[in-house]
Amino acid sequence: MPNIPEGATVPQDRKTKTEGPSYEEVQIDVPNGVDDDGNPKTRKVPAKRVTVDGLTIDIQDRAASDYRVARLMSKARKGDGLAGVEVLDIMLGEQQHEAVAAKYTDDDGFVDSEKVAEFTVSMFEALNPNS
């Protein structure tokens, strides 16, 4: 062990790892019309199962490259705060979008828009970990 002068800063060998956003590749069922008996049919599509802040959602791979998402992201970068709401509608669908809103709803029934915005940023970070 080397002699370290008193008061010198010593690097930490192991920092505690914090649990950040993550994703895994999955196949999910999406609606695909009805069969001859009127029962709903589904088909499998590639997706990413993303976990952010303890909430797990499925996002179709095609959703991130949807033209509407690109257009709305451009608006969001220019300061249109409501564009992010529409992005979540397209990428998550109504049911999962409502789950995000429910997660950040306080005791008085108000949804914390900053927390939803943080969720959205973390969701994109999970989808694009190398960017």
Angle at 129 between CA 66 and CA 103, to 5 degrees: 75
Spatial contact of 49 and 23, defined as CB atoms under 8 Å apart:
yes
Q: Quick check: is 5 in a domain?
A: no
Q: Please compute the mean of the pLDDT values over residues 57-69 and round it to a whole number.
A: 91
Q: Quick check: is 40 in a domain?
A: yes
Q: Please compute the mean of the pLDDT values over residues 7-12 and round it to a whole number.
A: 64
- Neighbouring-strand partners of residue 60: 47
Tokens of 61: 């791979």
Q: Quick check: is 41 in a domain?
A: yes
Tokens of 116: 């939803």
Q: Please compute the mean of the pLDDT values over residues 97-124 and round it to a whole number.
A: 92
* C-alpha dihedral, 31 to 104 to 52 to 48, nearest 10°: 10
The pTM of this model reads 0.72
Structural domain count of the chain: 1
Q: Quick check: is 29 in a domain?
A: yes
Q: Please compute the mean of the pLDDT values over residues 46-74 and round it to a whole number.
A: 91
CA 131 – CA 28 distance, rounded (Å)? 25
Q: Quick check: is 90 in a domain?
A: yes
The pLDDT value given to residue 22 = 81
Q: Quick check: is 102 in a domain?
A: yes
Domain that holds residue 121: 22-127
Q: Quick check: is 4 in a domain?
A: no
Q: Quick check: is 10 in a domain?
A: no
